[in-house]
């Protein structure tokens, strides 16, 4: 587990332990790892991403590596290289569009040739929307449009979210990005404000359209869809834009915040429409059951593909989503 002591990393470590895995704690800060490992019997193996030998020691004997250390623009490539050297699967929780694209671009051939499994964005943003879109598609192999609407009641970002966002903004020259006409394009105008009709009881809500998230990388990586659009409730968009919005605070014994989400995915083909929705609590906490379910499926061979693959391509999407109960409540077509 690389990035073990971050906010998301801690949820993932707890989930691994709960499901009977033995986590090996890794990351760049030896003291933090030692404190976290104290009294658990788990190993702490510090490693910096610019030290391949230390990464090799961190991964030695591990069944797989999960990377929760972001910005992934810095951490993904060196940890994937180490996973390829170790011959073990790699999963990460990257929300950065550019970093996820880099993973597909730079590692697709090598991972496929090696029969290795590399799953980027196996998290709330990216993998989850892809699973829902894939489940909504059902027997359709192509669609005209995929819409992923995020109904978040708030968004208290972690330091990692803020720094990842800053890196992505720099990489795209302060422009925004959209997926239209079958490819990513940059835009400099303001994104549209509109209304999205979520399923009841949420109902119609003001959203920012083209609030582009990592689903624009994961969904088109395996589904033939020229238009992929993501939307965010204005409350959450306002939270994340404001520098003073505090980090999430725990309200229950699992460490979850009181944030709730409803993800509403609509796919359209010809005149027909299909929909998949999911609800739950705390987008950071819920990333843990998502990535650990993925790990379990990879390690037990419940996969459809190898190489660099997104969640919707490698897993049986409806089965995966149903397995997330009680963390997530899903409604599939």
Ligand X SMILES: NC(=O)c1ccc[n+]([C@@H]2O[C@H](COP(=O)([O-])OP(=O)(O)OC[C@H]3O[C@@H](n4cnc5c(N)ncnc54)[C@H](OP(=O)(O)O)[C@@H]3O)[C@@H](O)[C@H]2O)c1
Choose the stretch contacting ligand X; rule: CB under 6 A; options: 27-35, 176-184, 189-197, 268-276: 27-35
Residue from the set 30, 60, 159, 206 that interacts with ligand X by CB under 6 A? 159
Number of Cβ within a 10 Å radius of residue 150: 26
Residue from the set 1, 8, 15, 80 that interacts with ligand X by CB under 6 A? 8
**Sequence-separated (6 or more) residues with CB below 8 Å from residue 252:** none
H or E segment and range at residue 120: none
* Residue 29 lies near ligand X (rule: CB under 6 A): yes
* Residue 95 lies near ligand X (rule: CB under 6 A): yes
- Shortest spacing between CB 272 and ligand X, in angstroms: 29
* Residue 124 lies near ligand X (rule: CB under 6 A): yes
* Residue 78 lies near ligand X (rule: CB under 6 A): no
> Which residues between 234 and 253 bind ligand X (CB under 6 A)?
none
* Ramachandran assignment for 78, one of left (phi > 0), alpha (psi -120 to 50 degrees), beta (any other): alpha
* Residue 164 lies near ligand X (rule: CB under 6 A): yes
Choose the stretch contacting ligand X; rule: CB under 6 A; options: 66-74, 137-145, 267-275, 307-315: 66-74
Question: Are the C-beta atoms of residues 283 and 176 closer than 8 Å to each other?
Answer: no
* Residue 5 lies near ligand X (rule: CB under 6 A): yes
For every residue of 206-218, which 3-state class applies, written as one string? EEECCCCCCHHHH
Choose the stretch contacting ligand X; rule: CB under 6 A; options: 51-59, 144-152, 158-166, 252-260: 158-166
- Shortest spacing between CB 20 and ligand X, in angstroms: 23
Question: Are the C-beta atoms of residues 266 and 147 closer than 8 Å to each other?
Answer: yes
* Residue 158 lies near ligand X (rule: CB under 6 A): yes
Residue from the set 121, 132, 288, 324 that interacts with ligand X by CB under 6 A? 121
The residue behind tokens 């509403």 is: 264
Beta-sheet strands, E only, within the chain: 24-27, 43-46, 65-67, 90-92, 117-119, 145-152, 176-180, 183-187, 193-197, 204-208, 227-233, 260-269, 272-281, 307-308, 328-331
**Identity of the residue, 74 or 269, whose beta carbon is nearer to ligand X in the bound complex:** 74
Q: What does residue 186 show for φ and ψ, rounded to 5 degrees?
A: -95, 145
| Residue numbers at the binding site for ligand X (CB under 6 A) | 3, 5-9, 27-29, 49, 68-72, 74-75, 93, 95, 121, 123-126, 158-161, 164, 214, 284, 287
């Amino acid at each position: 587990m690389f990035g073990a002591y971050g906010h998301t990393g801690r949820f993932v470590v707890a989930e691994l332990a709960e499901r009977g895995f033995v986590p090996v704690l890794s990351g760049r800060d030896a003291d933090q790892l030692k404190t976290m490992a104290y009294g658990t019997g788990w190993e702490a193996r510090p490693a910096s991403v610019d030290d391949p030998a230390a990464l090799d020691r961190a991964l030695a004997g591990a069944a797989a590596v999960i990377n929760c250390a972001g910005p992934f623009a810095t951490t993904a490539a060196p940890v994937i290289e180490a996973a390829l050297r170790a011959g073990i699967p790699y999963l990460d929780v990257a929300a950065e569009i550019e970093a996820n694209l880099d993973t597909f671009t730079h590692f697709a051939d090598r991972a496929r040739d090696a029969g290795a499994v590399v799953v980027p964005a196996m998290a709330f943003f990216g993998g989850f929307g892809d699973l829902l879109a894939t489940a909504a598609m059902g027997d359709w192999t192509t669609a005209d449009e995929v819409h992923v609407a995020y109904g978040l009641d708030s968004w208290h970002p972690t330091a990692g979210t803020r720094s990842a966002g800053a890196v992505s903004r720099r990489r795209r020259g302060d422009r925004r990005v959209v997926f239209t006409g079958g490819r990513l394009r940059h835009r400099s105008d303001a994104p549209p404000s509109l209304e999205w009709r979520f399923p009841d009881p949420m109902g119609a809500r003001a959203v920012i359209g083209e609030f582009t998230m990592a689903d624009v990388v994961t969904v088109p990586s395996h589904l033939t869809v020229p238009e992929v659009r993501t939307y965010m409730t204005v409350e959450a968009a306002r939270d994340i834009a404001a520098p003073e919005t505090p980090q999430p605070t725990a309200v229950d014994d699992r460490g979850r915040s009181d944030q709730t989400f409803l993800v509403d995915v609509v796919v359209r083909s010809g005149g027909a429409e299909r929909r998949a929705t999911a609800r739950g609590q705390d987008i950071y906490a819920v990333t843990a059951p998502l990535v650990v379910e993925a790990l379990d499926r990879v390690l037990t061979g419940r996969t459809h593909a190898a190489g660099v693959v997104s969640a919707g391509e490698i897993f049986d999407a409806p089965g995966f989503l149903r397995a997330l109960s009680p963390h997530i409540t899903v409604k599939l077509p």
